[in-house]
Amino acid sequence: MAQRTATARTSALLDELVPVILAEGFLDLSMADVARRLRCSKSTLYGIAASKEQLLVTVVRTFFRGATERVERAVADAGTPMDRIGVYLEAISVELAPASPQFFADVDAFEPAREIYRDNTRAAARRVQELVQQADPSADARFIGAVAGQVMESIHRGDIRASTGLDDSAAYRSLAELIVAGLFGGGALAST
């Protein structure tokens, strides 16, 4: 019973911490700052993770795990296979919307968090490929998945924001529109 209580308390603390980290970033927060924000002791935090860095990794993983679950629920509720592509990328956009520029800057500056983001981006590109294959078996799903992956990596690196001004959420929304329009438009370009 004590283990379940501790696990429930840990889960509740992480659920409280994720929005703080998304809004404010994490590199400038100390364990004392986090404990104060969550109204708990530092020893409680050290019970979750042995260091600030490990706590941050746990928080970033918690965020992406929850986001992935919510995105996949949205996809499961979508209508046609074509709808699922747009729903998938739009759901990613919704999940990333609360993340501040400071959060993304901190993710980029902290290798373990950057790797978690990168792993999730790769998984998302593979998922786009699967969804395209389901929606249109005649489409080159590998190519579309690879292009989506490259755009997602550009979003992650901040290249899209730098060249367009779009934040990560808006960039994912635009990627969804582009892929769906390309598949709905169908057909290859006419040769001249």
Can you tell me the distance from the alpha carbon of 22 to that of 165, in angstroms, rounded to the nearest whole number?
Answer: 19
Task: Answer whether residue 190 is part of any domain.
Answer: no
Q: What is the distance between the alpha carbons of residues 125 and 151, in angstroms, rounded to a whole number?
A: 9
Token pair 């978690």 in the structure block, residue: 116
pLDDT tens, residue by residue, 42-66: 999 998 999 999 999 999 999 999 9
What confidence score (pLDDT) does residue 158 get?
83
Asked, for residue 191, whether it belongs to a domain, the answer is: no
Residue 192 within any structural domain of the chain? no
**Positions of the chain with pLDDT lower than 50, given as ranges:** 1-4, 187-192
Q: Please give the pLDDT value at position 56.
A: 93
On whether residue 168 sits in a domain, the answer given is yes
Residue 7 lies in a domain: yes
pTM (2 d.p.): 0.83
82 domain-assigned: yes
What CATH number is associated with residue 110? 1.10.357.10
pLDDT per position as a tens digit, 94-113: 998 899 889 988 998 999 99
The amino acid present at 81, given as its one-letter code, is P
Enclosing domain of residue 41: 2-185
Residue 118 lies in a domain: yes
Domain count for the chain, please give it.
1
Distance CA 160, CA 162 (A): 5
**28 belongs to a structural domain:** yes
